[in-house]
Amino acid sequence: MPSLATTASAGVFRRPTVRDAALLLALAWFVPFAVHLAPWSGVRPLGVYLLPMFWATFVAVYFHGAALGLLTGLFAPAVNLVVTGLPAWKFVGPASLELAVFALATTWAVRRAPRFWLLAPLGYLVAKAGAALLLAPVNVVGEAGAPGRLFSHAVVTGATGLIVLALINAALVRFFPKLAAGDDPAG
């Protein structure tokens, strides 16, 4: 059974070049940075609503699979904390965990259903639920009912970002279609 890391050989994902990795890491830094620069007077940062760290992570996963998706996802919170101060230090660990779960879940999903245009928003929901459940035993999210409240609040708050993720996913499927792992390229 192939692991997520070996899916590049299955033809669904391309092997990344240094240029691909550099471009995606730059995108992972720039997109959240640009979102944080946008004029905004909300109580919470605009990135909480638009989910920009997930954008480059999904693009990396869609083209190159788990390894570059994980690198891109883990790079985004760390570099943006250094450059912009966001996400707040206490949220870097949970954000990194969410992005790692997101990268792994969407890699699995893209491998199985690469033409489905809702993989990115569904991957976000899986990542948010998985992170809430993983963080609950170590009391990061608070009392016993907190993971459910955290998840529902994140879905409501991130609704605009889920739409953006769906649009990115749909554009990738439309303009860069893929074959599923078992599809015949000649047929």
Of residues 185 and 164, more confidently modeled: 164
Band of pLDDT at residue 1, cut at 50, 70 and 90: very low
Distance, C-alpha 120 to centroid of its chain: 7
Mean pLDDT of 101-112: 97
181: pLDDT confidence band, cut at 50, 70 and 90? low
- The pTM for the full model equals 0.86
For the chain, list the domains and their CATH numbers: 15-36+45-175 (1.10.1760)
Nearest to 65 by CA among 124, 94, 24: 24
Distance CA 113, CA 173 (A): 10
The token pair at 56 is 């480059």
Q: CA Rg, the chain, in Å?
A: 16
- Give the residue carrying structure tokens 């991130």: 158
Q: What is the mean pLDDT of the chain?
A: 86
For residue 165, name the pLDDT band (cuts at 50, 70, 90).
very high
